[in-house]
Amino acid sequence: MPKFSINRRQFLGASALGAYSLLHTQASGAEGVDVQIGLTPSNTHPGQKAVLSVADPSRIRLLQLTDIHFFCKTARPELDKQTLEDVPRLIEKTQPDILLVSGDLWHDNPLGKGKGFMEFALDKVSSWGVPWIFTWGNHDKLDDYAAGHDALHNAKHSLYRGGPGGGNYIVTLQDQAGADLWDLVCLNSMGRGLLAPQRDWLKALPGQEFRPAAKNAFAVVHIPVAQYEQAWAAPECGGVRLEGVSSWDEDGSALPLIKALGTVRAYFCGHDHVNDYRATVDGIELVYGRATGSGGYGGDEVPKGAKIITANAQSGQYTMETVYPDGSTWQTEPGKKIDQYENTPWAKSPA
Ligand SMILES: [Fe+2]
């Protein structure tokens, strides 16, 4: 029989979700919904764009690590220890140019401990020795988000530039001569999804000096957009879905704004730990990464891992696969949809 761990909805509790209000953000805490995560800006570092030179424009390697959830289960420190063993192995096996840390890096802000959780997390991410981006997840809670932006910006190997934009920014991958190859549109989906602040930032983006300028781009966001439901319904969709799409208050209006940028090829999210599928909706591929942190729910249903993406800026093509710490891989197959644990390739046979 499969073991089913507590999922995110059960963890948060329905009553906390029902109490959502943009105007009345609850105090952050283990159970509270802090809607405006990362929204308070910081202008300590006014730029909203970082640049990274990559060695081989025909083989750009991006490793998406999502839902690391440091300090989720503080009574079981062996889980974070496992994550800290797994990530360096994932990096060693995949040799990425950049890490896409797509949210829920740490877990909440109980009794004001979020700052310490973040500092621990930034120390670890920096120690991995690879340039990295970060997008806010619904559990990345702090008392002081302006200070959080600054800490994220100042951390070693960080490409985070989200301070002035309330967590939204651009990273441009360039060749050694400084030509733009591929952009990353990094968005803060706060506590309840991409909402008015992010839509406003996206609407203004084409007029900004830091707008995406490469031919191709990926969006990196913690929470999926509503169209992930459509993606699952698409005949060519493939992958695993063991829980529903938690796009929450996102109403489907963010994706057209992302599409209007004209260059975004794919949207990478996390958030739903036991989903790993991909399909194209309205010209943009919607992709679930693979949850990485052993402290987060779902590891007994879907093994923890990461998503390695290889982009060729010369051809505009990209490929991806899920990778595990031992270096083995798994790929979604178009049209092959798995929605029962028993049908996953990693299901344990009954004892
Ligand atoms: Fe998560």
Provide the CATH number for the domain around residue 73.
3.60.21.10
Give SS3 for 69. Answer: coil
What are the C-alpha distances in Å from 250 to residues 46, 167, 222? 28, 17, 12
> What domain count does the chain have?
1
Q: Distance from the CA of 272 to the center of ligand 1, in angstroms? A: 7
Report residues near ion ligand 1: CB below 5 Å.
67, 104
Q: Distance from the CA of 271 to the center of ligand 1, in angstroms? A: 5
| Residues 260/275, Cβ–Cβ less than 8 Å | no
Give SS3 for 122. Answer: helix
Query: What pLDDT score was predicted for residue 33?
Result: 75
CA dist., res. 153 & res. 159, Å (int): 7
Residue 250 lies in a domain: yes
Domain that residue 337 falls in: 8-343
Residue 77 lies in a domain: yes
Q: Distance from the CA of 274 to the center of ligand 1, in angstroms? A: 10
Residue 138 lies in a domain: yes
Q: Distance from the CA of 81 to the center of ligand 1, in angstroms? A: 17
Query: What pLDDT score was predicted for residue 32?
Result: 67
Query: What pLDDT score was predicted for residue 23?
Result: 36
Q: Distance from the CA of 103 to the center of ligand 1, in angstroms? A: 7
Closest-CA residue to 60 (of 330, 317, 259): 317
Query: What pLDDT score was predicted for residue 11?
Result: 46
Model pTM above 0.75 = yes
Residue 325 lies in a domain: yes
Residue 349 lies in a domain: no
What are the C-alpha distances in Å from 208 to residues 170, 248, 264? 11, 29, 17
Q: Distance from the CA of 270 to the center of ligand 1, in angstroms? A: 7
Q: Distance from the CA of 108 to the center of ligand 1, in angstroms? A: 11
Residue 135 lies in a domain: yes
What are the C-alpha distances in Å from 171 to residues 84, 141, 313? 26, 23, 15
Query: What pLDDT score was predicted for residue 351?
Result: 54
Q: Distance from the CA of 248 to the center of ligand 1, in angstroms? A: 14
pLDDT, tens digit only, all 351 positions of the chain:
333 444 554 444 333 333 333 333 444 334 467 899 999 999 999 999 999 999 999 999 999 999 999 999 999 999 999 999 999 999 999 999 999 999 999 999 999 999 999 999 999 999 999 999 999 999 999 999 999 999 999 999 999 999 999 999 999 999 999 999 999 999 999 999 999 999 999 999 999 999 999 999 999 999 999 999 999 999 999 999 999 999 999 999 999 999 999 999 999 999 999 999 999 999 999 999 999 999 999 999 999 999 999 999 999 999 999 999 999 999 999 999 999 999 999 998 765
Query: What pLDDT score was predicted for residue 8?
Result: 52
Residue 3 lies in a domain: no
Q: Distance from the CA of 301 to the center of ligand 1, in angstroms? A: 15
CA dist., res. 199 & res. 185, Å (int): 13
Q: Distance from the CA of 105 to the center of ligand 1, in angstroms? A: 8
| Residues 250/269, Cβ–Cβ less than 8 Å | no
CA dist., res. 325 & res. 124, Å (int): 17
Q: Distance from the CA of 124 to the center of ligand 1, in angstroms? A: 18
Neighbour count for residue 332 (Cβ, 10 Å): 21
Q: Distance from the CA of 187 to the center of ligand 1, in angstroms? A: 16
Q: Distance from the CA of 339 to the center of ligand 1, in angstroms? A: 19
Query: What pLDDT score was predicted for residue 348?
Result: 82
Residue 72 lies in a domain: yes
